[in-house]
Structures are given as C-alpha cells and as structure tokens.
Structure 1
Amino acid sequence: MAVIALLAIPETARAASRLLLELGDKGMAKATLTLEPQTGNQAGVLVRILALPFELDSKHRISNPDNVAVSVLSNSNGYALLSLLAPQSKQPIDIKIDNAFNLIGGKIKDRVILKCEVSYQFLRQHRSVLDLAPTTISSYDITILLPNKYDQAQLSFQPMGDWKADEQGRKYTLPASVFKSSASPNEVFIAFPSPFENDQQWKIIISFLIGIVLLTLGNFTVKREIGEIRLGLIIAVAIILWLIFAYFLYTAPKPMDLIEWAIAPMIPMAVAPFWGIWLLYAIKNQGEIQGKITLDSQPAPYLRADLIINGVPKKLKVNDDGTYKDWVWCGNKTIDFQIRADADGVQGTVSSSQHSLNAKDEERVETLNLQSLPLPPSSPSSGVTPTPSP
C-alpha cells in the first residue's frame, strides 16, 4: 500500500509558515510554501533550510521570486530539504512547486489518503538539521485544497476536531499548533473520495472511436476506389482519434497504461492518414487504365500484359479472368501508351492501338484476344487394324 507521507515536527522557526497543497484531479499536487517576514543576519541576508513534508516528484518544477535562490539539498524517504537565500524583506516569500508529488500512490480502492507522521521518523541522516533554530523551518500550517467539493460524511480526518474548513468545503487547514501540545497525535491524515474514478474514461472513448474507424476501414479499404470524399473522411477520423489519444496520453494519471493498452490498434491508425493523404494526391495526378485479355475469346489464367510508354515496357498484373487495371502518373502531361498481351502456347503477341491518358481520366482499352496455336494434324489411317501385343 503506497501513501503520500506528510511529515511534521515541532516548529523551530520564529515566524509562522504556511504550506498549501493543491490536489489536482489529474493525479499531481501543486505546493505553495509561504514564509512570513523574518529577521535575517547582520548583513540583511535571510538564509533558511526548508524541510518539506513530502518527497518531490521527478517532474517537479520550482518557481520563486527573482531575488530569491532556492535549491534542493536532499530528496528521499518521504521528505525534501531545500535551501533558501534571500534579502531580508517585510513581504512574505512565496515558493511554488508544480508537480510536487503524485497522488496515485496514495489511492486505496476508491479513496485517496494523505498521511502525516508527526514523528518525522524518515529523516535520519540529516535529522540534526531540525535543531538549527531559527535557520530551519520544518513546521507549517498545512492547508489542503481538495480537487472537488465533498460532503463531510465523505471525508475522514485524524485528529478529528482540529481541521478547519472554508465555506466552499474544499479547503481544510491543520494549524501547526496541533503539534506543539503534549497530546500531539502520532499520526494525522485526511482521506477523501478518489477524483480518479473516471481516469479509465479514455479506454471507453478510445475503444469506441477505434471501433468506428475500424468499421469504416472494413467497409471502405483505404484505397483510391472509395473516392476522395470517403478518403477525406477516413483521414479526418484517424487524425481526430490521434488528437484524442494524445490528449488522454497527456492528462491520464498513468500514461503507460494507455500506451500498453492502445498501441496495437493505434498502429494502423497512424498509417491510415499518411496513406490516405498520398492517395488523395495521387488521384489528382494519375490516370486509370482498364482492359481485358482473352484467349480464343474466353477468359483464361496465366496471361501476360505489358504497359508500354515511350517504348519502355512495364509489367501489368492480369487477374485470372483476364482483366487488368493500373494507374499512370500523368501530372500536367498527356501520356501516350499501348498494351501488349502475350501467353504461352499462342500464335504471337497482340498489341492495342495507341491511347492517350490525362490525370484523373479513365481510359478503357479494347479487348485483346490471343489465339492458341493450332493442333498438329493427325497421321492418315492405313485401314489396317493393328494386332495387339501378346
């Protein structure tokens, strides 16, 4: 069971500090640390060590005022130590940390738990830094901003009566004074309904869209015969699907789940737009040739045909029924061509007349009929019936 540990210890700094944790509904939390005006050293420089009650996520990003320097000293075992260097000021100092920590680890079934261990037991190696008062700040008024508004009956607290709620029912504050009393609890936490119950919605949406696209591709194979309108429709649907996939990939709490689940059906979706765009371009620049070849005026397999353009032959695929179809790149030119047919056991090749073809035109070539070789003549009969061998 993974939980997000928020660790707190008795306050050692002179001025109160506040820690606001904004729990986003996409699985990440944003932290805002506010330091009230404090007295610096004789040179008017404020030097502080900030013990944060959570371990920073690898994607964290710290934002601070231009005249304030902040760096990470240590980040492990459920805590982070930051160093702060700033000029003495009468104004509060705000330090913002985007993607501070991930909430998914604290999800148990349909609830998220933010757990605080007031003993600060995970800070061992640098524990003596907590005694450097007032240099070290390690205790805060912790305010948690929930991602949604919940009824009190949906929330759980420890200690029960020390959390203060705002009017909207989303913001709850636990004052640092709770940890000063002799009856300080060993553990405090807040539990609330998971805002990630809909984090699987992308599976439903993408499954539906993939089904629509595959159904479309099943009825209209991505080839030029379906026409420009249907090709454009397939391209548009495939691109929209990829945009939605990219959106959920960016916003899903666990992007790898989406990749592992959707990578196989998304591969043909990745090819479809490029192939469709190429076909749309080809349709506008190619002309179509159709024709038929027969043997003794009958369809026959194993016939051969060549497309001859400027004296250069190109093999054509001839179907078993003798029909053939091909596309010729014309661009802005008129292409002159001829068809030559051949087969084994025929009297010779047969060539069509000369034809001309322009882009987006369809040219039907006359049927080419091959003639079989005549059978050899049989020997004349002698009228004598041969005697069968014994």
Structure 2
Amino acid sequence: MNGNRFGRLFQVTTYGESHGDAMGVTVSGCPAGLELDEDDVQAELDRRKPGQSMITTSRGEPDAVAINSGTQDGYTTGTPIGMVIENKDARSGKYEPYVTAPRPSHGDFTYSAKFGTRNWGGGGRSSARETVNWVAAGAVAKKVLEAEGVEVKAHVNQIGDVEAPPVTFEDMVEHAEENEVRCAHPETAEKMLEKIERYQEEGDSIGGSIYFETRGVPRGLGAPRFDSFPARLGQAMMAIPATTGFEFGLGREAREWTGKDRNEDWEFDEEGDPTPVGNKHGGIQGGITTGQPIFGEVTWHAPTSIPKAQTTVDWETGEEKDIQVVGRHDPVLPPRAVPVVEAMLYLTIVDFMLLGGRVNPDRMDGKAGEYDTDYHPRSPGNE
C-alpha cells in the first residue's frame, strides 16, 4: 500500500490502524536546532483527540505522544523525528458483523476489493483516527513557521444549513476555541450545536465546512503546473477523510463574477513593490502565492457511521441484510477537523518554504533554538 507519505523536503510518513497497537509518524527534513518537546506536540493533539464533548465520539483515547528520535536535550538534531501515539481504547468486536458485509458509504468493500484483505477493526487504515499522525507532524511544522512569522487559523463556518457570517482572522484566534463546535461566531455556534444535537438524538449525522486563513506566507511559493500552491494544498485537504470539496479565494462563487469584477488592479505598496488591490484571489495568482492572506474552505460530508437502520449485502453468503452501525462515532466532523486542517496548512507551507530556501537551517541557533531575527521572508501588507 503506497500513499503514506506527504511532502518533498519536509516529508511526513505515517503508519497505524484505528484499532491497532499504535499510530506513528516520522518527520524528515526538519532543520536542526529547533526547540521541540512533547508538550509542543501534545497541545495540538489535545485539540483533536476524541471525547472532548458530547458531540464527539466517546472513545477514550488520551492521545499521549512519545518522541523517540530526532531530538536531544529539547532541540531537533536534523535527523528524522519519530513520534508514537498508542491506542488505548480500541474495541474491535463491534466490527465483526462487517468483515464481509460492508457498511454503507465506507471503504470496507473498496479496500477489500483492491488489496484482497483489510484490517476491519474500526476501519483500519481508512479511519480518521489516522489524522492523529498528521496533527503531530503539523505541530513540528508549526514550530518552524512560527519563527518565520507565519500564522494559520481555521474555524467551523457551516454545519448543515446553519452558516456563520464572515469573521476576521483575529476573531478566529480569539473565539474559535471557546465553544465545542469551534465556530468563531458565538451566536452561530449555539445554533450549530442545537442542530448537531438534534441529528444525534435521531441517530443520524450531518455535514459541514471549515474556513481557513493564513498570515505571513511569503510571495513566490508554488511552481506551476503540477506543483502549484493550490494544487498541493488541494491534495492536502482532499486527503482528509470525508472531505468532498476544497476552495480558495472566491471558490465556487467565482462562477458568478465577471472578469472585470473579479480582476484586481495593481498598485505600489509602502516598499515600492507591486501589490494587488484586494484579495479575491485568496493569496494565490497563477498558482503562486502573492504574499497576501491565503484563505479558503473545506467541506465534509456527514459521518457515515450512524445507528439508523441501513441495508448491506454479505459477499460471502450472498445474503442481503439490515444493519445498524453501533459503536462510538462522531455525529459531525468539522469541529475535530479544525486542527487537522491547520496541520495540513502548516505542512504544505513549510514544505514549499524549504524548497524555496525561505527557511535557512544555517541560521538556526542550536543552543537557543531560535532563528536569526534578521532572516525573515518579506510579506506585503495584508488587507
């Protein structure tokens, strides 16, 4: 099975199944001298872990990370960083009825058809449990980018037909973690929670979306055609389980705009460099970053594991039968996916910056674990 690695210079390789002994990730390409310990990674994992509220799965995973290579005395050594997160609360018995009877809209049959076998406990490798590795790796990328002045933030902007009004980057930073839905607009968050609870009571689930935004990403990242910035970012977002759409800038709304209305004039910024007037393009033109904020949206379908009665077939017995998928499952995905989206943004950005020489490992202080403050990519003023 291929497809377990992400990135070119900042490479992330993952392993593990939902109900296996552990999840694990190796990060290669992180510069030496970066101050990093398990608390840095744990802070991000705690945002993603199950059991945070009544609208998440009750699976009791502490998601405690152990860094077992790549650091010494609290600093990275430049060698691969290995991290392990043990599975503590796996209960595979509930999945035995689906060994040869695929759950509706899951990867049960497609995995079995492709490989001739699969780890059926909890969905195995296809489970969103695997994203714990991505968040751990993203925490390392975040540490690298924080020193370069790059910021990333996301929040849940829609659940079902309940949509939040536009919010600022500062609103997301201040309010997104204040409620269990992770919506930065408190009044809308209450309505979202009511809708989620209603579907949960009915034994059903609901979809939604996440809005993301960056600050401080330098201009010049991306190499069209197939290494354009949105192409790589789209791959990162669409790899997240249950995603059905990725947009940046105006996204789908662009089809309603004329060229004259969407096009943005040019002017000189305070430093005398050309800069677009406005940012309908979402920080990307011609597949290359402009230095303005990158923003967009990712959409999730409703979780497919629901207790309502559904119909399947058993490919071994040839029988059709009704099933109810019992177990511990999220009734909605975006609230726990916010740190996953942020992690994939960090991983995408740091990989491009390393490729473009925008992160200079020679300028890192192995003792202080800090970058030379004179080395920062220039980013034009953001609107």
Normalised by the length of structure 1, the TM-score is: 0.24
Greater RCO structure (CA 8 Å; 6+ sep) = 2
